[in-house]
Structure 1
Amino acid sequence: MQQRVMKVLEFHKIKEQLIDFASSSFGREKVSKLTPSTDFEQVVKMQEETDEAVKVLRIKGNIPLGGIFDIRPQIKRASIGSMLNPQELNQVSTTIHASRQMKKFIETLVEEEIEIPQLNRYAEKIIVLAELEQSIRGAVDEGGEVLDSASITLRSLRNQLRTKEARVRERLESMIRSSSAQKMLSDAIVTIRNDRFVIPVKQEYRGHYGGIIHDQSSSGQTLFIEPQAIVQLNNELQNIRVKEQQEIEKILIELSSMVGEHFNELATICYVLGELDFLFTKARFAQKMKASKPKMNNKGMIKLYKARHPLIPIDEVVANDIFIGEDFSTIVITGPNTGGKTVTLKTVGLCTLMAQAGLQVPALDGSELAVFGAVYADIGDEQSIEQSLSTFSSHMVNIVDILNHVSFDSLVLFDELGAGTDPQEGAALAISILDEVYKCGARVIATTHYPELKAYGYNREGVINASVEFNVETLTPTYKLLIGVPGRSNAFEISKRLGLKESVIETSRAHVSAESNQVDTMIASIEESKWQAEKELEDAHDLLKQSEMLHRDLQKQMIEFYEQKDKMKEKAKEKAAKIVDQAKMEAEEVIRELRKLRLEKNAEVKEHELIEARKRLNEAAPKQHVSKNPLTSKRTKHMYQPGDEVKVLTFNQKGSLVEKVSEDEWQVQIGILKMKVSEKNLEYIKSPKVTETRPIATVKGKDFHVGLELDLRGERYEDALLKVEKYIDDALLAGYPRVSIIHGKGTGALRQGVQEYLRNHRSVKNIRFGAATEGGTGVTIVEFK
């Protein structure tokens, strides 16, 4: 990839933003060396790696990439016998620890069945050097100091040092506490000079203590003297310090030797940590840009949905759909200055470079980019004063170079092609240049002001016109790209809005050819139709959302209604039962009183009459039927099939089975509503009639029923088409006259792919979008022959 092209498209600015997300010097080094690749397999692999890193960040939020140092110089020196200092050894142990944490982190993700094969391959290369890490940590602390525990000898020497230092301080403190010391010392403190303990003595008393003068104050009035009485003790201290230093060097040499022995493993750790840091650097950058993984191809096709220029803030940039390479290989963009033509060129070019460098691009999911062998760009005013070249000459130098190297796998971006010279000659040159590049099979996007190139887009197969929209009412560009709509001159409308006399405008129109007026009128009509279609589509989307919300609310209210109805019935039955029980109790009490009265008074009340009265009382009470729970009532077990007419017991409503959604749940159509119902809440009524010319309407593939609908929402493009292919075969075997495929609206890529496949299927009679009650343009209805 040419350095000049990457500079023109500002790829270096992407790298400047990317480097801020690196966690270590390894990652920053990888970013600084980042260049787009032209190898298709390598680009696909890089995109998969970045996507896995994005997935991990989305699931886990962060990763353990702290404490990484570039230890390559240290391990190289250790491998040839050099001694590392404590700080360098600490960096080695910290980096080993970071690699161990990273390996464990990725292994945990794999155990959680998160699909990250690329990251796992990197983690498998990390060799755990826990023993080396422990050896260094046991000898060197985090501050880079050698610990007493590094060896038994060092511990002993340091104990001796502490004992000797205590004795020296004790002797000196006894000196400075004496009564005579107050007048002879500048300050009653013990200090250190040249690693020896001294006291500050006034100049005039220098001979009182004897010993050695090690330093003096700036004024010369104070001398730092090592008294003769402690010279021998200081000498002993120095001897112990020398032995201590020798023991420390011995320990460092031993540890450095261990590091050198593991040079290859440590070099691998550095490589893997660098790669992982780089991948998560790209992932964090993608999250910040709200980018997505593009599907890569080697067929020169670009399909960008709502693509944004990566360097323009999200709240300012206008997203555009950009397509090239399938139905047409050349786009000619016309429109006013500052309308966004150059931004469109740079968006395509920069997104291509980013994708080929393994970066995700600021566009919606489902976008697709090609891996080009070369990207050429002639953008902006690159006038060279040093070479005394005009703007036109400077552009022509670049164009000549492009024409000498362009091939079928190139992407070529021309900005203001043919500008800077006579309009008639410039237009002719622009047409010839486009023809030349078109013959090579390259993909070309060119911007121009020349009206002659509008006709070029109509007269050449594989070439399409495009324009950037301009709002005449506000006299401002909207920055929207309109593919298939050539730009038109807005000079008359703008002049009118700015107050130019109508008579002057009409006179001007008379000087313009009839053909130009007709073309401008046609373009205006196309723009108006497109705007109206977009508005109607937006209104339809809003209406669909409202309908879906209403559907959900109605379904919820139906469920609540039937639940409330059942509760009220149960309460009424319970209340009636209590009233009847109370009445029976009162009646029994009356009968007991009557019986007692008969016995006591010999009243003429016969026993059989009492029994008859109780019987009539029982018969008069309302019978309480224990309602059979439809969920538990016994009924004949039926093997349900899609299309069966059933009764939903919980709602007491009839419906038909659409498809089985789980082991014991079906999707049931009740009027205009669809809802999931447990199989135990269904009561079989009848099956649909089956024509003799078709097999029975349910076919089991792999222990599941074929549904009347296939939901593809959330599926990737390739997986979705595979599912469609299998589903159509199963539906044909099941004998369905028609089925529904739910692909959603989204960007339209999935819908287009599904319908393209269905149009070419030999058994498909007709396809159409669903009606408003069937899902609208988010559903394709398929009718079989």
Structure 2
Amino acid sequence: MDSRTAQLLEFPKILDALAGFAVSEPGAEACRELTPYDSLSEIRNQNDLVALAREWVGVTGFRLTWFPALDGLFAFAEARKQRSLDIDDFTALGQVLRTAREAWRAFSEGDERYLRLREALGSGSWPVKLVSAVTRCIDAEGRIRDEASPELSVVRSEIRSIHQRCTKKVKDFILGRDLSHFLQDEFMTLASDRYVLPLKANFKGRFQGIIHDYSQTGETCYFEPMFLVELNNQLQEYKKEEAVEEQRVLEYLTGLFRQERQSVENCYTFLVQLDVILAKVALGHRLDARPLEVDESANLHLPEARHPLLVLAGHSVQAVDVSLRPGDRTLVISGGNAGGKTVTLKAVGLCALMAYAGLPVPVAAGGTLAYLPRVFVIMGDEQSLEGHVSTFTAQIQYFSRAWEQVDQKSLFLLDEFGAGTDPTQGAALAQAVIDKLTERGGVSLAATHFPALKAYALATEGVRAASVLFDPKTKKPLYRLAYDQVGASIALDVAREHGFPAEILQKAEQYLLLEGSETGSVLGRLNSLAVKRQQELDELAEQKQRVASRRHRLEEDFDKKKNQLLEEVRCVSQTVLREWKEGRAGRKQALKKLAEVRERVTPDEPKNAPAQTVPFGWDDVHVDGQVLYLPWDKRGRVVEKDEKKRRVKVDLDGVAMWVNGSDLGPASTREQKTRVVTPSAPAAGPTLTLDLRGMRADVAISELERFLDAALLRGATTLEIVHGRGTGALRREVHQFLKQFPAVEQFSLAPEDRGGDGMTEVTLK
């Protein structure tokens, strides 16, 4: 992308807006330096990262805080290798490291998928030693802590002791001689880094001492009494020692910085890139935008596209659908002045640059764009008086320079190409340009007023025509596109609306009639029909939205009632089971109540409903085949067939159970409630299986108890408990529990061909 294209499409303004969402100056600068990526894979990767960052921010609520720039620090450290960094450098460094640590922790607390985002923003080792040292030595206000070194702690302790002694002596001196009226302030202060008293200037000869300075008004002199001289001298010695110790701390930290400089740069890069990608997320929220799907073979399809700068400026923007059919490579837009042709071209070009730069694009979901990294623009009045170049000449010169670079990966935007010269020749030249652009396989969009080019767009394969719409009554633009038709250039109507002299307009209309051209009225009629059609489409879209909204509400209401019913059934079932366990209800009474609940949940089929028949019988049941268990309306896999009893063992999502063959249907549909037509043995209830192998005894017994309760609720009468052979300890625990369970009628080990002493068969009452 050349700078001319970026300037004409105002891409730098988008980057400035993006920089405004960054929290740091280095992040803002990185935003302003963004350019379209060089490959399709980079664009897709950046779009994925933006989408992931948007989700991460929504889940965690993370907000990046300000951090300073460190570019100067890295440059200084490189140029002055023998000098240590100063306290300001480490204050900035500490802020960066603290901010980076907060961000790293926020990534770690979320979903593991977000770690991919963190790695993409900046990988590398963490400067463990430097972080620990800076945290210990430098506080948040940029001061070296006392704990930075033992020697510094001792020196500062002595300095504080001197301050306390000076304060006490000054207080005793003032109170002992009642000197408060000689002082401008009752407290001592510092002058030339020594403790002094603010003495009124007219009393300076009353006491022995040293005058260090005067105030700006001359009314106060800063006076050092003789009894403070020795203490101040000691203070200066300790101050020198403090400076030496602080310098040692800075040299120590500088050494750690040089050791872990690469890790520090990784942290800094990570923060800057995080700032950029969060700015992209914020820009997407501001524009109501989303990453645009970019693909090699995708068609140009930008539903509800809006010009980003108009949205950022707070204008009420009418969305426009820009789309090419499969096989089309060129879109020719016609219609009246001020109808939105140029804005549409700019919006498409700017959206393309934003998509290629990994920015969210203000289009509706489902938008697609081919990968067209070479973007060319001919737009506006490009004449140059200094260069003796007219508008037409400037267009020709630019196209000539760009032509060698045009190929199937080019996007060419032409606004009124061929204008500024003879209309007939200009139109012919424009047709030839579009012909050759289409042949080269790129995508091009052109806005025109040439009648010949309008007819060309309707008749040429690979070229699609579109027209901006105007209100048929008021002649005001609707900022919508109608496809596969052309529009009239309503120059006279626009002139009339903007106060052009009426007598001149009347004369112009007479000249227009003299030409005998009826195209204006025909195109006006087409515009009226297109507006009517668009209104009908809008009404249909609104109806579709209302129907979808109503369906959504009905589904929500259905789910709510279903959940309420299931909760009621669960409560009733638990109550019945509890009463039966406590002996307050017999087994038949409990089963009767459960049957009543089942009748409430499963409505009876209409008596006059026609019987549905599906060719499905016993011979259609095959081992490892898929069937539908009709009572539960669940698909399952056939594990085993019992030809004698006409029963089938079915695996239903990990639960294996014996069921009657008549309860099975074809797995191809759940709506067919057809049973097997072959006769079967009397229903004995489903056989449920529980596998306890590998469990501890206490866990196994707990699982067994829940399993028995669930089996009673389902109406099962026979169970299979798989406990394995092993040492027999788990089998003994299971049998001991079954003996005490009131609902168990009998149990025994399974036959050898069905598991032997590794499985127990249970019959419920």
Distance apart, 1:507 and its partner CA: 7.5
2-structure distance, mates of 1:484, 1:323: 11
- Unmatched tracts of structure 2, length 5 or more: 570-587, 637-665, 673-765
Q: Give the deviation of 1:532 after TM superposition.
A: 6.0
Identify which range, 145-154 or 524-533, moves more after superposition.
524-533
Range moving further from structure 2, 471-480 or 204-213: 204-213
Aligned counterparts of 1:379 and 1:240: Cα–Cα separation in 2: 73
Distance 1:702 1:257, change over 3 A: farther
1:270 Cα deviation after fit: 1.1
Paired position in structure 2 for 1:216: 214
Higher alpha-carbon deviation: 190-199 or 277-286: 190-199
Contact residue 449 and residue 489 of structure 2 kept, 8 A: no
Structure 1 residue identity aligned to 2:98: H
Whether the 8 Å contact between 1:496 and 1:505 is mirrored in structure 2 is no
Q: Structure 1's 557 and 27: CA in aligned 2 closer, same or farther, altered over 3 A?
A: closer
- 8 A Cα contact 1:330 1:462, kept in partner: yes
Contact 2:472 2:528 in 1 (8 A): no
C-alpha change, 1:342 and 1:102, in structure 2 (3 Å) is same
Shift in CA distance, 320/211, structure 1 to aligned 2, threshold 3 Å: same
**SS of equivalent to 2:99:** helix
Counting only pairs closer than 5 Å after superposition, residues 651-670 of structure 1 correspond to structure 2 as: 652-654=603-605
- Could you tell me which amino acid in structure 2 is paired with residue 394 of structure 1? A
Of 477-486 and 221-230, more deviation after overlay is shown by 221-230
Q: Does 1:166 align with 2:169?
A: no
1:513/1:399 Cα in 2 relative to 1: closer, same or farther (>3 Å)? farther
Structure 1 residues 315 and 209: CA distance shift in structure 2, 3 A: closer
2:523 to 520, 525, 537: 520
Secondary structure at the aligned position of 2:162 is classed as: helix
Distance 1:183 1:12 in 2: 67
CA–CA distance in 2 between the matches of 1:389 and 1:317? 36
Quick one: which amino acid aligns to residue 299 of structure 2? Answer: M
| CA deviation string 1:135-159 (max 9, x = no partner) | 2222222111222222222222222
- Taking the TM superposition and a 5 Å limit, the aligned residue runs for 1:427-466 are 427-466=427-466
Report the CA distance between 1:225 and its aligned residue. Answer: 3.1
- Give the CA deviation at 1:244: 1.6
Q: Which runs of 5+ in 1 are unaligned?
A: 567-624, 636-647, 657-669, 672-684, 708-732, 740-785
Task: Tell me the residue number matched to 1:541.
Answer: 544
Deviations 1:288-328 (A, max 9, x none): 11112211112363111111111113761111221137331
| Structure 2 match to 1:122 | 120
Q: Which residue of 2 aligns with 1:689?
A: 614
CA-CA distance at 1:488 after TM superposition = 2.9
Structure 2 CA distance for partners of 1:231 and 1:420, relative to 1, 3 Å: same
Q: 1:138 to 1:301 in 2, by over 3 A?
A: same
Matched, 1:399 2:324: no
Q: 1:519 to 1:512 in 2, by over 3 A?
A: farther
Q: Secondary structure at the match of 2:466?
A: strand
Task: Indicate conservation of the 8 Å contact 1:325/1:443, yes or no.
Answer: no
Is this contact kept in 2: 1:103–1:126, CA < 8 A? Answer: no
- What is the one-letter code of the residue matched to 1:225? F
State the Cα distance separating 1:389 from its structure 2 match.
2.5
Amino acid across the alignment from 2:158: Q
Distance 1:491 1:6, change over 3 A: closer
The letter for the 1-side match of 2:408 is F
Alpha carbons of 1:208 and 1:116: their partners in 2 closer, same or farther (altered >3 Å)? closer
Q: Structure 1 pair 737/194, CA: closer, same or farther in 2 (3 Å)?
A: closer
Q: Contact (CA 8 Å) 1:489, 1:520: kept in 2 or not? A: no
CA offsets per residue over residues 624-650 of structure 1, 9 Å max, x none? x98976854799xxxxxxxxxxxx753
Q: Residue 356 of structure 2 aligns to which amino acid in structure 1?
A: Q
Look up the SS of the partner of 2:333 in the other structure.
strand
- 1:86-137 CA-partner distances (Å, limit 9, x unpaired): 33323323322222222222222234xxx44640423782534454323222
Structure 2 distance, partners of 1:231, 1:528, is 95
Deviates more, 1:483-492 or 1:403-412: 483-492
Distance of aligned partners of 1:514 and 1:25 in 2 relative to their CA distance in 1, 3 Å threshold? closer
For 1:688, the aligned partner's letter is T
SS at match of 2:119: helix
Within a 5 Å distance, the mapping from 1:572-721 to structure 2 comes to 631-632=594-595, 649-650=600-601, 652-654=603-605, 688-690=613-615, 700=626
Tell me the CA shift for residue 504 of structure 1: 9.9
- TM-fit CA distance, 1:419: 1.4
- Aligned-partner Cα distance in 2 for 1:737–1:461: 49
Q: Does 1:357 align with 2:350?
A: no
1:376, 1:410 within 8 Å by CA — same for their partners in 2? yes
Separation (CA, whole Å) in 1 of partners of 2:289 and 2:555: 32
Is the contact made by 2:333 and 2:447 (CA closer than 8 Å) also made in structure 1?
yes
Deviation at 1:377, TM superposition (A): 0.7
Change in CA separation of 1:550 and 1:117 when aligned onto 2, cut-off 3 Å: closer
User: Equivalent residue for 1:531?
Assistant: 534
TM-score (norm 1): 0.68
State the distance in 2 between where 1:20 and 1:90 align. 25
Q: Which moved more, 1:291-300 or 1:72-81?
A: 72-81
CA distance in 2: counterparts of 1:339 and 1:10, whole angstroms: 20
Identity in percent = 27
Q: Which amino acid aligns with 1:435?
A: D
Shift of 1:477: 0.4
Tell me, yes or no, if the aligned pair for 1:293 and 1:365 is still in contact at 8 Å.
Answer: no
Distance 2:200 2:164 in 1: 25
Q: Which residue of 2 aligns with 1:54?
A: 54
CA distance in 1, matches of 2:480, 2:181: 91
Q: Judging changes above 3 Å, is the alpha-carbon distance between structure 1 residues 301 and 81 closer, same or farther for their aligned structure 2 residues?
A: farther
Q: By how many angstroms is 1:550 displaced? A: 9.2
**Aligned residue in 1 for 2:577:** none
For residues 492-520 of structure 1, the C-alpha deviation after alignment (integer angstroms, 9 at most, x for no partner) is: 989999999xx999977864557737953
Residue 696 of structure 1 deviates from its aligned partner by 9.0
What is the CA–CA distance in structure 2 between the aligned matches of 1:230 and 1:496, rounded to whole Å? 92
> CA 1:98 to 1:387, structure 2 compared with 1: closer, same or farther past 3 Å?
same
Partners in 1 of 2:193 and 2:564 — Cα distance?
Answer: 91
Quick one: distance in 2 between partners of 1:408 and 1:192?
A: 77
2:458–2:484 Cα contact (<8 Å) kept: no
2-side partners of 1:76 and 1:702: how far apart? 73
**What is the letter of the counterpart of residue 413 of structure 2?**
L
CA distance in 1, matches of 2:23, 2:305: 29
* Corresponding position of 1:617: none
CA contact (8 A) 1:217 1:223 kept: yes
What is the alpha-carbon distance in structure 1 between the residues aligned to residue 596 and residue 182 of structure 2? 111
Letter aligned with residue 110 of structure 1: D
Preserved contact between residue 294 and residue 371 of structure 2 (Cα < 8 Å)? yes
* Aligned-partner Cα distance in 2 for 1:526–1:699: 59
Q: CA deviation at 1:409?
A: 1.1
2:326 maps to which residue?
326
Q: Could you say which residue in structure 2 is the equivalent of 1:71?
A: 70
- Give the match for residue 228 of structure 1: 226
Quickly say closer, same or farther: Cα 1:4–1:554, change in 2 above 3 A: closer
Q: Is the 8 A contact 1:164 1:233 kept in 2?
A: yes
Q: TM-score, normalised by structure 2?
A: 0.70
My pick for the range that moved more, 534-543 or 393-402, is 534-543
Distance 1:213 1:525 in 2: 95
**Counterpart-to-counterpart distance in 1, 2:545 and 2:97:** 56
Query: Residues 38 and 205 (structure 1 numbering): CA distance in 2 closer, same or farther, change over 3 Å?
Result: closer
Partner of residue 281 from structure 1, selected from 270, 273, 279: 279
1:84 maps to what in 2?
85
CA distance in 2, matches of 1:491, 1:222: 82
Secondary structure, aligned partner of 1:198? strand
